[in-house]
Amino acid sequence: MKTRRFPLLAIIFLPFLCCSCSLPGDSPWIGLHAEAAVVHSHFNFEGTADTEATSTLPISSVFHFGNEGGITGNKNLPYLKFSAGIAPLELRLTAFDYNTSSPGSFTGNFLGTEFTGDIASDLDLRSIRGTLGFDLLSSEHVRVAVVVGLNTFLVNLRVDDTTGSDAFRELDELLPVPVIGARGDIDLPLGTRVGAEVSIPVLDSVTDYEIGLVDVELTAQWSINENSELIIGTRRIGLFFDGVVENSPARVDLDLDGHFFGVSVTF
- Is the pLDDT higher at 81 or at 247? 81
Predicted local distance difference test score (pLDDT) of residue 247: 78
Q: Considering the chain, what is the average pLDDT of its residues?
A: 86
Strands 248-266 vs 228-245: parallel, antiparallel or unpaired: antiparallel
At 26 the pLDDT is 58
Give the E-state strand segments of 111-166 in sequence order: 113-138, 142-161
Residue 27 has a pLDDT of 66
**Cα 217 from Cα 266, distance rounded (Å):** 20
Distance from C-alpha of 86 to C-alpha of 63, rounded to nearest angstrom: 47
Whole-number Å distance between alpha carbons of 180 and 94? 15
Q: What domains are there in the chain, each with its CATH number?
A: 6-266 (2.40.128.90)
| Residue-wise pLDDT tens digits, 101-122 | 888 899 988 888 889 889 999 9
Q: CB–CB of 210/250 below 8 Å? A: no
Would you state the pLDDT for residue 248? 85
pLDDT > 50? residue 7:
no
Q: Give burial (CB, 10 Å; 0-12/13-18/19+) of 189.
A: exposed
Using pLDDT thresholds of 50, 70 and 90, give the confidence band for residue 15: very low
- Position 194 scores a pLDDT of 96
User: pLDDT (tens digit, 9 = 90+) per residue, 223-240?
Assistant: 999 889 999 999 999 999
Is the pLDDT at 243 greater than 70? The verdict is: yes
In this predicted model, what pLDDT tens digit does every residue of 18-68 receive, in sequence order?
444 444 445 667 778 899 999 999 998 889 989 998 888 888 889 888 777
- Banded model confidence at residue 139, pLDDT cuts 50, 70, 90: confident
pLDDT of residue 150: 97
Confidence of residue 17 (pLDDT cuts 50, 70, 90): very low
| Cα 28 from Cα 223, distance rounded (Å) | 11
Distances (CA, A) of 219 to 81, 93, 159, 173, 230: 11, 14, 36, 30, 10
Q: What is the pLDDT of residue 12?
A: 41
Q: Does 88 score more than 50 pLDDT?
A: yes
Specify the pLDDT at position 24. 46
